[in-house]
Each structure stands twice: as C-alpha cells, then as structure tokens.
Amino acid sequence: MKEQIIQLFSEQYNVPFGAFEKTFNNFYEHPFQASKCIRLVAIRDKEVLGFQSFFYWPCSFKGKQYQVFQSGNSLVSPAARGKGVFGRLLAYVFENKDKLKYDLLIGFPVEMSFGSFMRKNWEHPFDLRWYVKIGSPIRSLLGNPEKAMAKRFSSKPSRFIDSSSERFQVDYSEPFFNYRDAYSDGSYFFFEFEADGKSALFVLKIQTRKKVIRECIIGKVIADSYEETFLQSAFRALIKEIRKSGAATLISIAFNPLDKQLKSATEKLGFRKLERIIRFIYYGDLPNELKAYDQWAMFRADIDTW
C-alpha cells in the first residue's frame, strides 16, 4: 500500500520514486509524528484510489495544549477523480473525531483546493497577509546570501522560549524543531532578542526569486510578550542584523493581519502590505477562549512545507 501511495505522488509531481519515498518517510515516520499523524487511504480491490493526511501540529493558548492537526499530502488517482473520493476521505475525518482524538484541523490550501474545503464546511477566519520591507538592495547582489546569513545568525536556537500565553499558536518546542529539521530542505536561521525580562525568537529563511531578488522571510515570531513597544524593539534589532549581513534585497513576513499589536509594530517600522495572501482555514468546534481570531498567531513557517 505504501509503495502505491508513493508511486501516485511520484507520477503526479514527476519526482523520482526514491526521492519522494525519502520525503514521505521523513514526514511520517519520524518519532515525533509516526504514532500521531492521521493517514487515510481510499482502496478498491487492493488498488489505492486516494490519500489524505493530517500532521500532528500541537498548539497552545493560555497554558492549555490543543490536539491540532494540519492538512498534509492529498491526492486522488487520475482514474478515480470526479467520483467523490476526496469528499469521502474528509467525511471520515469529520465523522470520527472522537476516534481520531483531535480538537481542531487546520490548513493552508492552495487556491485550486480552497473551494473543495469550503464546500465541506471548513471555516475561513482570515488569510495570512504578506508585508515587505527593503533590505540591502545593492549588497545583496554580491556573494552567497546563505553564507552571509550564517555569519550573523545561528542555525539552532540557544533555547526554546515559552510561547506567549496571549496567543493561540503552534508550539515551537525542541522535539517539534528536531522533527521539522529532519525533513526540511535548505537552511534556516534564528535570531533571539531579550529586553526588560521579555524574550522573542525569530525563525528566518533566505530564498532567491527571479534569479536576483534575495528575500529574507521572517517565517515565525515566538514571543513571551506581545506588548507593541517590545515587538517594535525586537523587529528593529532583527532588521538591523539582516541589513548588516547584506544578504537580503527584501525582508518579508506573512502573518494574521487581525493581530493588532503585530500589524501596528511592523507597519510603524516601514513594512508595506502586499496583495499576496496565504489561505488559512480550520475545521472543528471552537471553545469560547479561541473565538477571538485576533489572538491567533499564524505565520508562513507554520505551514508544513516551510
């Protein structure tokens, strides 16, 4: 069965079988994920017709942890498309919530699949909005951006700070970091900031777009305080270090624009809103404490493909 699933994805995305098998194993067989993730397979006469997964993606708010799962790999065999296979896979998840033991399902769907989820009664509380700021447009054209970042930023946090009790967000614990580090391609960088007994951790990634634009993505902000003046100080220190590195033409971040403190802090530092968005959806009954969407801290790095 596993071989059939991998073959389906290999053929769909024109990726060598061995390469996708490695990716599949790193995603699903890691000790952090193996016994928790949800993997659903549609079968007819021993033939795999479809596959839908949900990764274990624990989140916390005000000291309470929630069993959250993110929609992962999804594919229906070309021979079975248009026959309701995807809908039945999703229906199984909805109808067996107690058995699967989840509090909430979340997703960041591409436009092609967004409508399918919405027709299955998922909620669409907000989209992540991209903001951008100029970095070092001339210096970034010279040299290797990843090497430049590596000179000023660490490849692993010195410590994992507690997520702010003020926000509902993904737990960025050491076990979770180790899991993601095992399957992720590319280099990730970290910047830590402390002031007046408060701490913030930034997760960064550098990528090249259109062959010349070096973009430093602020993938996630983890803070034990969301006081606006503290966030401004933390972002200001980060921007200074990125510019000193000379690695980035642009500095970008995608986050929940309903978060007033984060939105205000970034805009006051010159980040400009773009039209680009990342869809965000969820499925499940929210407890009262989670119904204020401006308290949801979701970022680009919270997507499984970061």
For tokens 């076990």, the residue is 175
| pLDDT of res. 61 | 92
Amino acid at 80: A
In sign, the C-alpha dihedral spanning 194, 301, 54, 169 is positive
Alpha-carbon distances, residue 34 vs 20, 92, 98 (angstroms): 17, 20, 19
Domain ranges of the chain: 2-107, 128-279+287-302
pLDDT tens column, 245-274: 999 999 999 999 999 999 999 999 999 999
- Measured CA to CA, the distance from residue 252 to residue 271 in angstroms comes to 8
Q: What is the CATH number of domain 2-107?
A: 3.40.630.30
In this structure, whether the domain defined by 128-279+287-302 belongs to CATH 3.40.630 is answered with yes
Query: 128-279+287-302: same fold as 2-107?
Result: yes
In sign, the C-alpha dihedral spanning 102, 103, 109, 113 is positive
- Measured CA to CA, the distance from residue 219 to residue 202 in angstroms comes to 7
CB-based burial, 228-263: b 16+ in 10 Å, e otherwise: eebbbbbbebbbebbbebbbbbbbbbbbbbebebbb
| pLDDT of res. 164 | 59
Alpha carbon distance, N-terminus to C-terminus of the chain: 27
For tokens 């999804």, the residue is 74
| pLDDT of res. 163 | 66
Amino acid at 263: K
- The per-residue pLDDT string of the chain (306 residues; one tens digit each, 9 = 90 and over) reads 899 999 989 998 899 999 999 989 999 999 999 999 999 999 999 899 999 999 999 999 988 999 999 999 888 988 888 888 988 998 899 999 999 999 999 999 989 889 888 988 899 999 999 999 999 988 888 889 999 999 999 999 998 887 657 899 999 889 999 999 888 877 899 999 999 999 999 999 999 988 889 999 999 999 999 999 999 999 999 999 999 999 999 999 999 999 999 999 999 999 999 999 999 999 999 999 999 999 999 999 999 988
pLDDT tens column, 97-139: 999 999 999 999 989 889 888 988 899 999 999 999 999 988 8
CA 47, chain centre distance (Å): 32
| pLDDT of res. 39 | 95
| pLDDT of res. 191 | 98
